[in-house]
Structure formats: C-alpha cells, structure tokens
Amino acid sequence: MKKLAAVAVTTATLALVVLTAGGAEARGGGGGGTSGGGTSTGGSTSSGTWPAAFPLPTNPGVVVSQSATTAVVRSTETTAQIEAKLDNLYVNGLGCTLKLVVNKPKDYFCTNPSTGKTQEVYFTYAALDPKPTDPSRSQTNAFLG
C-alpha cells in the first residue's frame, strides 16, 4: 500500500511540474529579421527588393516588407484565393513547375529570365482576423531559393 501511495504522489508531482511548464515561449535569434504585425519573416539580413521576374499577389494586396530573397504581402483575400491566384500566375502564366509535398509550403521551380537559371520560389500563408485598423484576411510570405 505504501508503494502505491508513493507512486501516486510521484505521478501527481510530475504532472504538476509538466503542466506548469507549459507557458514557455520560444523566441527566434537576432539577425535583422523583419516583422509584420507579429509574424516574423526570419533572421534574414538580405537587402534590396523582391525580383520583378517573380510576381507577388498584390492585386489586391500590399507589400509589407521585402528584400532580394524574401517578401511579405498582406491581402483582403483569403489564403485559398491567394493560393489559387499564385498557381494560375506561376504555372499557367510563367510556365513554372509546381512541386507538391505534404505539409510543405507551395513550391515552384521557375526559370529566371534575367539569368536563365532555374530558381525555387516558395510561399507560406497565414490566415488573419480582419480588424478596423487592418482589414487584411491573409498574409503571404515569399521566399526565393
């Protein structure tokens, strides 16, 4: 009986320790990352502008931040509308190849017209709650590989 009581107390103590540790928060390292409304685009230190050869979903939409290899666009359209628009634009319009991988971002392989080299362009999406100060319903993060 003493062993059973000791196991019960140990288990309860362990559960209490695990449950109270749930408030931990992971934070990204430094490195000049750009932030747009609380969503970090990473620790990129690239400068410049997103290449015009690879269009961003800006109709409707506004570029929040950009560099030579990353861009963030906010839109009043949903993420599903943006994904369909990008598929049409990149696959049908630019002739890029869509790479489908489960649980991965939308991935396109495109020939850069200025260099003739194949480049990877991929996008991640976030659904947003519209607010009176920002009616955006989605955020698209673009990356050039």
Tens digits of per-residue pLDDT, 63-88? 999 999 999 999 999 999 999 999 99
Half-sphere exposure of 57 (CA within 13 A, CB side): 28
How many domains does the chain fold into? 1
In a domain? residue 23: no
Q: What is the pLDDT of residues 36-66, one digit of tens each?
A: 333 334 444 457 899 999 999 999 999 999 9
In a domain? residue 57: yes
In a domain? residue 24: no
In a domain? residue 1: no
In a domain? residue 27: no
The domain of 103 spans: 33-144
Using 50, 70 and 90 to split pLDDT, how confident is the model at 100?
confident
Return the closest-CA partner of residue 129 out of 79, 86, 94, 81: 79
Which residues are CB-contacts of 65 (< 8 A; sequence separation ≥ 6)? Answer: 34, 36, 41, 71, 72
